[in-house]
Amino acid sequence: MPDGESRGADSAGGKITVRVRFPPYDDVTPVFANHFSVVFMGDEFVVAFYAAIPPILVGPDRDSQLTEIQEQGVEIPAKCVAKVVIPKDRMFEISNALAENVARARSLTATSPEDKTT
């Protein structure tokens, strides 16, 4: 993982920049998240990641099971698996980094019309 810089203020209110080293994060357990929420609160963003696992439909009557679930308005509980508070200026950088990586992923996974079967 690349190193970075952190900007802040010293005790006299002057601007300082320090080098930040990002060591390997092997001791952090990855968690699955398929939903998220973002809330802006003044100078910070609160980003919460959730895992919501839909019901498993089995058997030959899956369509009727799905219809029943939709008609009953069944809710699936989502578990918050991580909550991160991010300073506003860093969130702008994260947003740009995400946009660049999503664009790269889209270009790598894009298929040509010749690859599609009809």
Look up residue 111 and give its amino acid. T
Q: Is residue 105 part of a domain?
A: yes
Largest CA distance in the chain: 71
- What DSSP character marks residue 59? S
Per the CB < 8 A criterion, the answer to whether 51 and 82 are in contact is: no
Q: Is residue 66 part of a domain?
A: yes
pTM metric for this prediction: 0.68
Q: Is residue 117 part of a domain?
A: no
Residue 5: predicted pLDDT: 57
- Per-residue pLDDT tens over the stretch 7-63: 555 566 677 888 888 888 889 999 999 999 999 999 999 999 999 998 888 888 888
Q: Is residue 6 part of a domain?
A: no
Residue 116 pLDDT more than 50?
no
Instruction: Please work out, in degrees rounded to the nearest 5, the angle formed at the alpha carbon of residue 16 by the alpha carbons of 15 and 21.
Output: 150
Q: Is residue 21 part of a domain?
A: no
90 sits in which H/E element: helix 88-109
Q: Is residue 2 part of a domain?
A: no
Q: Is residue 37 part of a domain?
A: yes
Looking at the structure of the chain, the number of domains it has is 1
* Residue range(s) defining the domain that contains residue 62: 28-109
Considering the chain, what percentage of its residues have pLDDT values greater than 70? 82
Q: Is residue 12 part of a domain?
A: no
Strand order in the sheet with 44-52: 35-41, 44-52, 78-87
Residue 101 pLDDT more than 80?
yes
Label residue 94 by pLDDT band (50, 70, 90): very high
Residue 2 region by backbone torsions, left for phi larger than 0, else alpha for psi between -120 and 50, else beta: beta
Per the CB < 8 A criterion, the answer to whether 95 and 87 are in contact is: no
Residue 93: predicted pLDDT: 92
